[in-house]
Structure 1
């Protein structure tokens, strides 16, 4: 509950909310005015026990929770029957706990018991009340009986948003881990090979320097070219580690395609406002992979990239007018073994995204990437 040696009246996670509600415990005390003797003392004791139960219900769970909840309802019945029916308003405390801290089965049992308690009190005291008093009580009772459903719905919404935030954090960590693994594989497969080649050529130059100077110079120049290629690979890997938006990626893509003499046409709102950095980063990596494939393999002279965002998803279409997938390569929704398609699918699976690849030989290739959006309604929230 709390660390040893420390006392907390209410959980810090609840903020000032419990203290605000506690102020209303003054009202049943005021309702004791005019009482004397044993009835006054017993009334004071019951209100004190009710206050204790109010504090305890924020901390306890399980069977003890329902013991305190039942204690509250018994006190409300006694104070309403033997003091004043207006003490029924204390039921607002009870329904608040029923709404927030009971599960489905417990909620049904606790709420049914509460309704029975309220109706029983009304039946027993209703004949003694004037119509004015009854009409005054009815709105409060109606609100009291409706309140658990509204509070429960709000609580579940807050809980889902918290779980959504936690899930997004897990996804971000998974994406980071997957990117680290990919970079490690790239370092091993590409840079490792390049460095091994530099080592071998350096040994060769060492042997040739006294025997064949021209050959040694040529190999030395080859080492320079290889080392520059290695440096470029490192820069590419480092740049891919930085989160990048779709708009930024499309700007870089335009430069790459212009260099390859491929015309680029972009359609749609590339800013993707409200779409999370995580989603934009994965989309950017997919666009980069798709455009790299077009430059390397398609023999196209035109490339179309469409970006569309709806309430439920964001869709990116990358299309070229190249030679298409050749015989033996799979398409129409099935992923090609090469060209980084499996890497795209793995990244997209982390955020429930999907892709489809379609092509007809000689008529270009179309790649469609789809990622669902989960819109948070809370103020300041964003799509994930």
Structure 2
């Protein structure tokens, strides 16, 4: 259902309706002289002609708005010789001019309207009851309205930028969640698939070993569920050391021998650094299980100058067909995380599949 648009945009509130009360200025003449019914009727007719122009001006731009300004100004000048209350139309015209853009043109219109009022005053010898309010209050109202319009536009621009920032933040948060879910579930599901396939093959010839693999599948599934719950609450329960033990256990259960090199005194890492290293190790182990037929895996963490360097490499079978390195969702997510902490990642596939990640120690 299409709702009718309001006469005055909501950005102006209710104040423009209140301003219409200033039309009672037409009644000032009745305080010092008697007004004929004909004049009263013409006043009412003028007000009826003004109201559509007034409401139209709030929804007009360009030439149509300019026409509203000078039509209103003309009403005031027409009434000037007979009723000084016509100055209220000049004040309304000045307020309308404030909505002309750009701001420079609005001030030019105000200046031209002022010159027109002065010219008509000199030519027609108009009374001070008209030209003083028309010039004094008209100029004040016009300049104030121009400033008010500028502030209102600035506020609206700020709100639009704030909405854009919130939208971009929402997109970034969705991407972060997508990366986290991939990092959390990709490894676990790969292990589950591998062990389930192994259990199926062992079902007939080695039932006891198949049962053990099924237990490992159950445990891995429960661990994955616990990690997803921890991620939802924003808490990572496992650190790099735990992830290293789990990755080695998983790889060795698949026939991949692991060799580990760590600093003698393993330092305390910041939460951000430890999280990045743990997720990178998990992604690398997942890729080894999913894509390779490796038999050896070397994992090394060392300090070089002002950087942490994590290297993970595994051998490739001699009959392997080397393919260009292409980032999947996991590795792409790792690049983004490392870039956020002034780090980078290098992936090569030659005689070995090697991942080398560097991370500034300033963040550790």
Between the aligned partners of 1:147 and 1:228, the Cα distance in structure 2 is 67
Q: Which runs of 5+ in 2 are unaligned?
A: 243-264, 281-301, 312-330, 345-357
Given the superposition, is the C-alpha separation of residues 223 and 25 from structure 1 closer, same or farther in structure 2, using an over 3 Å criterion? Answer: same
Q: TM-score, normalised by structure 2?
A: 0.60
- Deviation for aligned residue 1:196: 0.9
Q: Which residue of 2 aligns with 1:190?
A: 187
Alignment pair present for 1:112 and 2:108? yes
- Asked if 1 retains the 8 angstrom alpha-carbon contact of 2:188 and 2:224, the reply is yes
In the alignment, the residues of structure 1 paired with residue 142 and residue 116 of structure 2 have an alpha-carbon distance, to the nearest angstrom, of 14
Distance 1:217 1:158 in 2: 67
TM value normalised by structure 1: 0.57
Alignment of 1:231-242 (within 5 A): 231-240=225-234
Structure 1 residues 276-314: Cα deviation after superposition (integer angstroms, max 9, x where no partner): xxxxxxxxxxx75434246799xxxxxxxxxxxxxxxxx
Name the residue aligned to 2:248: none
Q: Are residues 1:103 and 2:101 paired? A: yes
Residue 290 of structure 1: which of 268, 273, 280 is its match?
273
Displacement of 1:167 in angstroms is 0.8
Secondary structure (helix, strand or coil) at the match of 2:362 reads strand
Counterparts of 2:210 and 2:359, CA distance in 1: 48
What is residue 281 of structure 1 aligned with on the other side? none
Residues 77 and 117, structure 1, Cα contact 8 Å, conserved in 2: no
Higher helix share: 2
Once the two structures are TM-superposed, the CA of residue 29 in structure 1 deviates from its matched residue by: 4.4
Aligned to 1:76: 76
Tell me, in whole angstroms, the C-alpha distance in 1 between the residues paired with 2:226 and 2:239. 15
Q: Does 1:149 align with 2:132?
A: no
Residue 57 of structure 2 corresponds to which residue in structure 1?
57
Q: Please show how residues 276-287 of structure 1 align to structure 2 within 5 Å.
A: none
1:96-136 deviations in whole A, cap 9, x for unaligned? 33323x331xx544542332222332344366556x99777
Pairwise mapping of residues 34-49 of structure 1 onto structure 2 (< 5 A)? 34-36=34-36, 39-49=39-49
SS in 1 for 2:109: helix
Coordinate RMSD, CA, aligned: 4.6
Match of 1:103, SS state, is: coil
SS in structure 1 of the partner of residue 233 of structure 2: helix
In the aligned structure 1, how far is the partner of 2:214 from the partner of 2:360? 42
CA distance in 2, matches of 1:363, 1:72: 69
Which runs of structure 2 are paired with 1:1-384 in the superposition (5 Å)? 3=2, 8-12=6-10, 14-31=12-29, 34-36=34-36, 39-61=39-61, 63-84=63-84, 87-100=86-99, 102-104=100-102, 107-125=103-121, 129=127, 139-183=136-180, 185-186=182-183, 189-210=186-207, 213=208, 215-216=209-210, 218-240=212-234, 262=267, 288-293=271-276, 322-323=303-304, 324-326=307-309, 340-343=334-337, 345=339, 356=342, 365-367=361-363
Distance 1:234-1:45 versus aligned 2 partners, 3 A rule: same
Change in 2 beyond 3 A, CA 1:338/1:176: closer
> 1:53 and 1:339 mapped to 2: Cα distance?
59
Q: State the Cα distance separating 1:24 from its structure 2 match.
A: 1.7
Once the two structures are superposed, residues 308-353 of structure 1 have per-residue CA deviations (whole angstroms, 9 ceiling, x without a partner) of: xxxxxxxxxxxxx95524499xxxxxxxx899352365xx7xxxxx
In structure 1, how many angstroms separate the alpha carbons of the residues matched to 2:164 and 2:80? 47
Q: Determine the C-alpha separation between the residues in 2 that align with 1:62 and 1:364.
A: 56
Corresponding residue SS for 1:24: helix
CA deviation string 1:178-204 (max 9, x = no partner): 235324533663233123123213314
Is the 1:357–1:367 Cα contact (8 Å) retained in structure 2?
no
Asked if the contact 1:205–1:220 (Cα under 8 Å) also holds between the matched residues in 2, the reply is no
* Residue-pair matches, total: 286
Larger Rg: 2
Q: Is the 8 A contact 2:98 2:106 kept in 1?
A: no
Stretch of structure 1 that moved more, 55-64 or 29-38 = 29-38
What's the counterpart of residue 354 of structure 2? none
Change (3 A) 1:202 1:77: farther
CA distance in 1, matches of 2:199, 2:18: 78
